[in-house]
Structure 1
Amino acid sequence: MAQPLTRINRLERELHLRQLQVRRLLQITQAINNNVSAGDLFQMYRSFLSSELGVNEMALFVRESEHDERWQLATSIGVDDLPTDLDYADELQRLKRPGNIDEPDHPLFRHFEHVVPVLHKERPIAFILIGSFTDEEDMFERVQIITTISNVIAVAIENKRLFRRQIEQERLEADLDLGAKVQQMLIPKELPTNDFYELSAIYRPKLGVGGDYFDYREFADGKLVFCIGDFTGKGVSAALLMANFQANFHTLIRKRTDLHAFVTEINESVYRITNGDRFVTFFVAEYDRSAHQLHYVNAGHPPAVLVSENGFQLLDKGTTVLGSIDELPVLEVGTVDLPPQALIVTYTDGLTDLQSAAGETFEEEILYQFARRQHYRSAGLFNENLLAKLEEFRQDNEYPDDLTILTCRIFGE
């Protein structure tokens, strides 16, 4: 009579465990559907293992982030002396299959008897280390229940992480899309061409929206002002700063003050907006047709190149970047008496950051020598030939940054 009773007792115990499992799975599923925080899920998990399954020692390790090889202790039971200076990744990665642990002298594993790795798409996303139980009966069933519950918890946490990443990615894409739309409204769609001068541009933002900017303004007295700049930052923040800068550019340049006063004022306006946290490198030039002179200021920007049949000259006089300090310490306006025919090439550092397949950069000297050979070209044809040379130079390499080139051809009298 004793044998059937023992079997019935065991069946009753197993049924009780299964009922616990189903009940707790239902509660955890409802919590996940209600978007309970990871901390609360871990607390439910810990409570179930401790109070209902009688686990005396347990440690749950999860990845710190999706692409991170580091592991962190998410929750534990009965272990307060786990080593903090141990590389958990190296120790855990060798436990690739569920099974027993028999390492009583190991600083991490000495508390535990079982390991359960949780896999998601064949990669480990969690490790559960289990020690002793208050009741040693039905050990196999208890470990199986822990495995099931742990898989549900770990996958839920992983899905939360992936969902957060998706939301962040969507925000970034929306930010870039809005920034690109704002920026496209700021960049001139057409550039002037007449008997006296011609402007042509190459404009390639790396991510659809970048920090490069160029602009121009023509006046009834025949003068032409053109500029190029490179803003720190990307996305909407850079586009909004650029929009404000463009508004100030056109407002201040219409006052027809000299370039010294213009650059001083536009620096103050950028500093007011950014409080010195953002800045812009900037080159601005004014062509005076009647005097056949070029006045310019280079504010921390790669020097523009003035090219003619007599050679080339770097336009490097000016000041520091705009917006980093409220008052520019030094500001020099450069003046050049132009030769009868001249080509002025301005660019952002995306040009000289470009690399060949051999790892060589498109250095300034390459540009200077190319410009000397092409100085007689129109601005449009010069840019077309320069772009072809850049494509040949980079081959399969991507452009590392935004690329902008603004070329001005002066025809003279």
Structure 2
Amino acid sequence: MSQPITRVNRLERELHLRQLQVRRLLQMTQAINNNVSAEDLFQMYRAFLRQELGVNEMALFVRENDRDEEWRLAISLGLDNVELPEGTDYSQELMDLKRAVNIDEPDHPLFRHFEHVVPVLHKERPIAFILIGSFSDEDDMYERVQIITTISNVIAVAIENKRLFRRQLEQERLEADLDLGAKVQHMLIPKDLPANDFYELSAIYRPKLGVGGDYFDFREFTDGKLVFCIGDFTGKGVSAALLMANFQANFHTLIRKRTDLHDFVAEINESVYRITNGERFVTFFVAEYDRVAHQLRYVNAGHPPAVLVSENSFQLLDKGTTVLGSIETLPMLEVGVVDLPPQALIVTYTDGLTDLQSVAGEMFEEEILHQFARRQYYRSAQVFNENLLARLEDFRQEMSYPDDLTILTCRIFGE
């Protein structure tokens, strides 16, 4: 008579477990449909395992990001008093577990607390790993593990979908940020550059992501002076565009005061520092051409040195100061002064030029630009830039531009 009773009891237990599974699946599904937070889902999952399935130890690892090798412990049971080694990464060991298996590693700092591991797959990629320890009731352990696997799959897929949704929102926000930044920056970059009998400006401007940190500008005065500048701001997107907008406003406001370049650069540094508190900075080159005196005054603030080349001379314009905005008061500031030859070419650029690489891994080093400028110094600014751009395209071939690229060339015609 005892055998039929044992069989009935076993069937009753199996039925009870299946009812628990169906009921909990329904609750989980309703919670997911109601957009319950990931933390609340984890707590429901944890309570179910502990209270209804009698799990003593459990750990659920979920993917941290799109790279499979990075995982985080989302929730655990029975590990409150366990001291795991800090800074230990179990990612590779988890990735080696391709299917549900029993664990027998008594000396492992993590695995020794568990008896089973179940990988959760989504589109054939692991999105979670469940480590299961002992049960308070060892009866029907196989069925319990199966139920845990089913529930865990539901939870893990829901969490993965939430993560993918958050990533989509972040991507959309990033795209909106870049779009807004590009529109702001488009309004800041000069469209029409001066060209007359005395001087000519020409620019190459290629932001890497549609909106970058490069900036150039100019200002002409009725007394025949021309001020032109180029800069490279830290940061991207709207934050860089807004900083650039503020910088441009300060540039035009301060340059209209017609103060000496020394005072102008000191004041514009203070304006950048007030906005950024030293957390952002800009490399900057500014030059003032006096066509009456045929003289160039300039300040280089941590920027790649501009190139001044003529028929018989070559010079790097490197006098100046440190980057702008990193400290409130510049520690030193020197204004460079150059008496120009009858005709000259001045080439300014951002570091996106010298960061360019060829297919062979060679860099477009400064010396390549210097040699090119020596050969092309007699060209107009526009033709020089066209030839330089063709040289860059030939150099990089199918390699992409690693950063924003800006080149501002000034051709001085003199008398």
Return the TM-score normalized by structure 1.
0.94
Alignment partner of 2:408: what SS? strand
Alpha-carbon distance in structure 2 between the residues aligned to 1:310 and 1:254: 35
Match of 1:412 among 397, 411, 414: 414
Alpha-carbon distance in structure 2 between the residues aligned to 1:81 and 1:260: 63
Map 1:110-259 onto structure 2 (within 5 A).
Answer: 110-259=112-261
Deviations 1:177-207 (A, max 9, x none): 1111111100001101111111100001111
1:77 equivalent to 2:59? Answer: no
Counterpart amino acid of 1:326? E
Contact in 2 for aligned 1:353/1:361 (Cα 8 Å): yes
Alignment partner of 2:212: what SS? coil
Contact in 2 for aligned 1:66/1:161 (Cα 8 Å): no
Contact in 2 for aligned 1:267/1:322 (Cα 8 Å): yes
Contact in 2 for aligned 1:117/1:127 (Cα 8 Å): yes
Aligned residues: 413
Closer, same or farther: CA 181–40 of 1 in aligned 2, 3 Å: same
- Corresponding residue number in structure 2 for 1:21: 21
1:57 positional shift: 3.0
Map 1:275-314 onto structure 2 (within 5 A).
Answer: 275-314=277-316
- Corresponding residue number in structure 1 for 2:274: 272
Which has the higher mean CA deviation after the structures are superposed, 35-44 or 171-180? Answer: 35-44
Alignment partner of 2:263: what SS? helix
Alignment partner of 1:171: what SS? helix
1:74 positional shift: 2.6
Deviations 1:228-272 (A, max 9, x none): 111111111111111111111111111222222222221221122
Alpha-carbon distance in structure 2 between the residues aligned to 1:333 and 1:107: 63
Counterpart amino acid of 2:215? Y
RMSD of Structure 2 on Structure 1 (CA): 2.0
Contact in 2 for aligned 1:82/1:108 (Cα 8 Å): no
Closer, same or farther: CA 225–111 of 1 in aligned 2, 3 Å: closer
1:6 positional shift: 4.9
Alpha-carbon distance in structure 1 between the residues aligned to 2:218 and 2:111: 69
- Corresponding residue number in structure 2 for 1:358: 360
Alpha-carbon distance in structure 2 between the residues aligned to 1:359 and 1:121: 37
Which has the higher mean CA deviation after the structures are superposed, 46-55 or 242-251? Answer: 46-55
Alpha-carbon distance in structure 2 between the residues aligned to 1:138 and 1:333: 85
Alpha-carbon distance in structure 2 between the residues aligned to 1:285 and 1:76: 63
Contact in 1 for aligned 2:114/2:132 (Cα 8 Å): yes
Alignment partner of 2:94: what SS? helix
Deviations 1:43-87 (A, max 9, x none): 211211222122233232223333252433333333443643654
Alpha-carbon distance in structure 1 between the residues aligned to 2:180 and 2:134: 57
Counterpart amino acid of 1:140? Y
Alpha-carbon distance in structure 1 between the residues aligned to 2:166 and 2:373: 50
Closer, same or farther: CA 276–114 of 1 in aligned 2, 3 Å: closer
Closer, same or farther: CA 87–212 of 1 in aligned 2, 3 Å: closer
Which has the higher mean CA deviation after the structures are superposed, 341-350 or 262-271? Answer: 262-271
Alpha-carbon distance in structure 2 between the residues aligned to 1:129 and 1:327: 58
Alignment partner of 2:203: what SS? strand
1:407 positional shift: 0.5
- Corresponding residue number in structure 1 for 2:56: 56
Counterpart amino acid of 1:251? T
- Corresponding residue number in structure 1 for 2:36: 36
Contact in 1 for aligned 2:69/2:92 (Cα 8 Å): no
Alpha-carbon distance in structure 2 between the residues aligned to 1:247 and 1:168: 31
Alpha-carbon distance in structure 1 between the residues aligned to 2:157 and 2:100: 17
Alpha-carbon distance in structure 1 between the residues aligned to 2:98 and 2:25: 25
Counterpart amino acid of 1:81? V
Alignment partner of 1:228: what SS? strand
Closer, same or farther: CA 70–264 of 1 in aligned 2, 3 Å: closer
Contact in 1 for aligned 2:216/2:231 (Cα 8 Å): yes
Alpha-carbon distance in structure 2 between the residues aligned to 1:321 and 1:143: 62
Alignment partner of 1:215: what SS? strand
Counterpart amino acid of 1:21? Q
Alignment partner of 2:190: what SS? coil
Counterpart amino acid of 2:249? A
1:376 positional shift: 0.8
